[in-house]
Structure 1
Amino acid sequence: MTPLETFQSRKIHFQSLVEHFQKQYNQWAVFRAFLFAITALVGYFCYEMYDFAYTLLVLIIGIALFLFSVTKHLKVKYLRDKNKVLIALNEDEIQRLSNHFNRTETGEAFVEDKHFYANDLDIFGNQSLYKLLNRTHTFGGAKMLADWILHPAQTNEILNRQKAIRELSAKIDWRQDLEASAMLIEEVAEPTDKLLAWNNAPANQTIKKSLFQIARYLPYLTIPVVIAWILGFVPAYIVLVLFMAHGMILKQIFEEVSIALEQTNRIAGAMKAYAAVSELIVAENFQEEKLNDLKSKISEASPAIKALEDILNKLANRSNPFFAFVVGVPTLWDIQYFIKLENWKQAHRDNLPIWLAVIAEFEVLNSFSGYHFANPTFINPTIVTGGVTLKAKALGHPMIKASKRVANDIELIGEGKTIIITGSNMSGKSTFQRTVAINVVLALSGGIVCAESFECSCLQVFTSMRSNDSLEEGTSSFYAELKRLKQLIDEVATTDNSKASILYFLDEILKGTNSKDRHEGARALMLQLHKTSASGFISTHDVELGDEFDEQDFVKNYSFSSEVANDDLVFDYKLREGVCHSFNASQLMKRIGIEM
């Protein structure tokens, strides 16, 4: 069964389940209304015809049955809603196969200033690698996914990711269940920085004072006194004095509780999703060491996170004025639950960041696994150690539809080497460079690549392909390109044995100046880079540059070209060895009406 057929089949299956649970939901709604009416009628009948004890018994039974029906009703609602989410997930997967993305997240919030390749390779944006991969829903997962594709991993980590992704790829039921569990809670996308700031802050010293530690037991006196007042055994002023004492005690801790809630309240709703996801992780059996290692770190997370959710939700009840007066003041609610919150932090503060990171990593692994499952013809790259190695056969761009994708072979081995790509306008030079670079990024993230075979070493991709002028900075596009090339030169100069070699991609190098300066500048840059450990690709219209270095062993010339057939330009986008000496600018200008 193809991925498309799988997703379509699952969508139909979940649609049938939604219809099933919707019927149950409606039935329970009717039953609840019927039960309420019957309880009221029978209770009234017993009240009129028999002792009050019978009425009370009916009410107790009726309320118990009603609460049971509410629980069942909510469970059916949850199952209905979860299957609705699963329908949406599979529809999203169907759309992804055609590079149509339903989700709005672009990842642009995680862009790093002056990043080595993010802007040129469309790592983020509406049609981007991030959108192609992203199946995360927590804030931590979204941020970690961006980090994986922005920064290459080390060899051992890449290999471990490959194994984990391969195993998870086959677990489509579990993967989609994991994703759906997160999607059901909207707050799961909230940033966790304030929660972690609260978690990492020193223990609150105010609540540790003996006044509050003793006062927490005061409601055991106050509540019986209130009951005695209601029954007429004690005067009202005693209750009033006790309430005033409670109010004075609560006032002293009011600000600390408010600050703690401000840091945790927005993320409180997400705790349910974190608990559900961690529960799914712990319950699943894995084979790969990386997955089991992550699982071991989260074994106790679910009950602890549920406890935190319960504390936060109950503490947040203080914002209801009626609750605060009727329950909050008599029970010293703020103190009771603020002490529980501080005790929770003391018990789990070291574990909470680990739990959130593990959940995030499983989401990222799930993103790559979903991409792996959806593209069965793509392969796991071979990662080699040392130097500069890049070998690929039938290499294609993963964002181009298979029906339109043109694959090419390429090989670049050794430090200080340059591949010059010449060719006519629109022939595919820039797309080819992006094809090579984006597959290297995927390979070094742990993902699959769009190729028949692919081998590369751990490299640091660096691109200079889009140089935009800036009115704000007062720079032209040419000067912006010079600044980018300066960044490359500085980075290469600081590269040592502890860093990966630079793999650069320079598109239409120095295009903003005259042909003589362009040629001399490109020539000087190539000779300078040749003396370093960096290797890479340069595309240019400067055929003299290719001719000049054609006999040099550290340079290899490749080209793209076009043909004229029946007065139309035809591009085959096939990479050929050698320098291209045929260009099409005049034909293109004629086609738009410029008389040549």
Structure 2
Amino acid sequence: MNEDLQKNPNNNSDSLLSPFIRAQARSKIIDSKLKTFDNRFALFRLLSTIALLAIVVNYAQKSNSTTTLLLIILFLIFCLFTSWIHNIIQAKQKKWNAVALSYELSEARSQRDFDFITTQKSPWHDECIVVPKGHVYSSDLDIHTQLYLLLNTCSTKEGSQKLFSMLMEAGIQPEQTQIVIERSKNAQTLSRKTRLLRHFESLRLSESFLQKYFKLYEKKVEGENSELEEKKDSNSIVSISFRIFYAFVSICAWFIILIPAFNNFISTGNTEAFLQPIFLYTGFLLLGTLIFTPITQLATKVAQSSKTLQEIINTLNNNESIAESLQFTFLKKQAKAKIKSLNLLLDLVSLRGNPIFWVTLHIFLPFDALVCLILQLKIKNFSATLKVWENELYEFDVIASFARFASENPNSRFVTLSERKQASDQQIECTHLGHPLIATQKRICNTIKLHKSSPVVLLTGSNMAGKSTFLRTLGTNIVLANIGAPVFATKFIMPPFRLLCAIRIDDSLSEGTSYFYAEVKRLHFILNSLNNSYQNPGFFLIDEIFRGTNNKERYIGSWHIIHALFEKNSFGFISTHDLALTELDKNDSRLINMHFREHIEGLKLAFDYLIKEGPCPTTNALYIMKQHGLPVP
């Protein structure tokens, strides 16, 4: 059992529920308690602040200036402390609310409830979906509509984009095997740390995270050139030199204006003489907020990656062996110290958004000038390293999605190193192969084994018997294996195939293209793509070949397509309702017949969705017509 889903030892009705539902219920209880505590503390904070303010005002009228100043400082410190405590409570409440939602999403994903999953997708999800026109398998296999939605739990937009790009390229130009093996190995390691995965996904679902994301992206830069110029300007030597000069002047102003003003107020108690330098110093500070605005904007952009890296580091602090096995540079000891110091500065800069914090801190030091300048210099010093860490974060984001996918689907598994070494273009073997987009309780698994001497399978079968679903099962698992994600099979021995599909072909009124013409174009593309100039072998999946034409021409066209495929460096399946094509195996052993079939239970058709050898011996079209009242014999 996953470490964050330990079973309740009490033997009651709760034990019959899904572990995700039980965990969600526990998270909601904690969330509810924290929400109640948050409301009570907010009331306490309001009443205590009013009471202390009344005390300060009362004593200010009776006491000397030194006592008044001390009371004001103590009051500000109290406000800071209660605000800090309140922020911690709210952060924990939002965290547990996100954790509860994460468990709810896990249950929806395990049940393949795509309607609910869609409501909780990442805010950048749709923006990442850019399907190239005429993509050879995305629509056929529901890659961009369902598989990506099921896989994508990335906490960064760039990670989501990387995952989508991998899915689009996996069956066109598979990555190098060693890269896929390393990614799969890391994902398998992470899949055992479900608390980390839960916490990582809850980052994306957190209300605070979403607020920061929309705040960051609500004002889009009109063009890339202007963004580059702005970034270049903020990091230019002139800009940095000017900010260094302003920081020096700020320190001088603190000594020359603020400190003498406090001393004069304490010694004389003259309020009017105190206010004039205070207003002057405040105006000087407000000028600083404008000067350092580009730095705070840069800090906001850096913080998303830096804070996420810190969360990963914190969670893996007690798992040094896992951190070492992942081999990310941001998990090295020196890198962790740099990230921690950077986040400390980012936290200090974020205090600018709280007026009480901002005023109080500037009593003790020229906060903006020092912290913003140090932050800019720090980011500039290891900007290249930051870029490397960010790229590693995006890769971690992807493997965390794979790991979470594996932990939520116990029937899935990563392709082993042994299986990848056995894989060749001479033979394929899949045992108990199931469709990833079908829930476990409804998923039917099949086993296939093909040799290069018989690379083409003609798949026949009754309507609704499962032919198309089986083709999609093969294709989807090939895509998953090619990117290092878990597959749904107890054995999966396949090389990194290039995938070519003709399953879901649509006509186009706007382009004046009929279904038949669209299919011809797709088949022509498949044949041209299966030549020997490609390093990776091809795997074709053709559903209902030439369904758009008459029996005679369908037979002739299919016969020639099949014989052309014999000569290609490929394996594949062709489904058809044309039983005459099943006779081709009598004259050529390179073709294998397989089928799906139905049986009658009472007066209804029933299907086992299991693939069988040989041509299909049954049909059901007339039976279905008759059952629905059509005038057929």
Q: TM-score range by the shorter chain?
A: 0.7 to 0.9
CA contact (8 A) 2:454 2:589 kept: no
* Structure 1 contact 389–414 (Cα < 8 Å) conserved: yes
Specify which of 92, 102, 113 is matched with residue 89 of structure 1: 102
- Once the two structures are superposed, the pairs formed by residues 68-467 of structure 1 within 5 Å of their partners are 68-101=81-114, 102-104=116-118, 105=121, 109-113=128-132, 114-125=134-145, 128-150=146-168, 151=170, 152-184=174-206, 185-186=209-210, 187-188=212-213, 205=236, 207=238, 217-218=248-249, 267=301, 270=304, 273-280=307-314, 283=317, 285-287=319-321, 291-293=326-328, 295-296=330-331, 299=336, 302-303=339-340, 306=343, 309=346, 343-344=377-378, 346-381=380-415, 382-383=419-420, 384-414=422-452, 417-467=455-505
Kept in 1: contact 2:190–2:403 (CA 8 A): yes
Amino acid at match of 2:137: Y
Report the Cα offset of residue 401 of structure 1.
Answer: 2.7
CA 1:54–1:89 in 2, change beyond 3 Å: closer, same or farther?
Answer: same
Q: Indicate conservation of the 8 Å contact 1:415/1:532, yes or no.
A: no
- Is 1:549 matched up with 2:580? no
Whether contact under 8 Å (1:111, 1:118) holds in the other structure is no
The offset of 1:430, in angstroms, is: 0.6
Partner of 1:569: 605
**C-alpha distance after superposition, 1:78-113 (max 9, x if no partner):** 111111111111111122221114343395543431
Which residue of structure 2 lines up, in the alignment, with residue 505 of structure 1? 541
TM-score computed with the length of structure 1 as normaliser: 0.82
Q: Distance in 1 between matches of 2:565 and 2:352?
A: 62
Letter matched to residue 44 of structure 1: V
Per mean C-alpha deviation after superposition, the further-off stretch among 131-140 and 385-394 is 385-394
- After superposition, the C-alpha distances for 1:210-246 in whole angstroms (9 at most, x for unaligned) are 777656655567778877999999xx9xx99xx99x9
Q: Indicate how the Cα distance of structure 1 residues 581 and 312 shifts in structure 2: closer, same or farther if over 3 A, else same.
A: farther
286 and 100 in structure 1: CA distance in 2 versus 1, 3 angstrom threshold: farther
Q: CA deviation at 1:582?
A: 2.9
Taking every aligned residue pair, what percent have the same amino acid on both sides?
25
Could you tell me whether the CA contact under 8 Å between 2:310 and 2:340 is conserved in 1? no
Question: Is 1:120–1:463's contact at 8 Å kept on the other side of the alignment?
Answer: yes
Alpha-carbon displacement from aligned partner over 1:120-162 (angstroms, at most 9, x marks no partner): 001122xx11222222131012112223333244333333333
Aligned match of 1:32: 45
- 2:227, 2:618 → 1: CA distance? 61
SS of equivalent residue, structure 1 residue 124: helix
Q: Larger deviation: 85-94 or 32-41?
A: 32-41
SS of residue in 2 equivalent to 1:558? strand
Structure-2 residue corresponding to 1:558: 594
How far has the Cα of 1:578 moved from its partner? 0.8
- 5+ unaligned residues in a row in structure 2: which ranges? 6-16, 265-271
- 1:53-80 alpha-carbon deviations (Å, 9 max, x no partner): 3333333223212211111111111111
In 2, the alpha carbon distance for the partners of 1:211 and 1:157 equals 46
TM-score by structure 2 length? 0.77
In 2: Cα distance, 1:291 partner to 1:22 partner? 37
Q: Which moved more, 1:213-222 or 1:459-468?
A: 213-222
| 1:464 Cα offset (Å) | 1.0
Equivalent position SS for 1:458: coil
Q: Please, which moves more after superposition, 28-37 or 71-80?
A: 28-37
Change (3 A) 1:564 1:433: same
Could you say what secondary structure the match of 1:536 adopts?
Answer: strand
* Greater share of residues in helix: 2
CA distance in 1, matches of 2:89, 2:424: 57
Instruction: Please list every run of 5 or more consecutive structure 1 residues that lacks an aligned counterpart in the other structure.
Output: none
401-410 or 457-466, which moves further after superposition? 401-410
1:54–1:265 CA distance, 2 compared to 1 (3 A): closer
When residues 111 and 48 of structure 1 are mapped into structure 2, their CA distance, relative to the original with a 3 A threshold, is closer
Equivalent residue letter for 2:150: L
| Partner-residue secondary structure (3-state), 1:520 | helix
Are the equivalent residues in 1 in contact too, given 2:131–2:144 (CA < 8 A)? Answer: no
Change (3 A) 1:375 1:28: same
What do you get for the CA RMSD once the two structures are aligned?
4.2
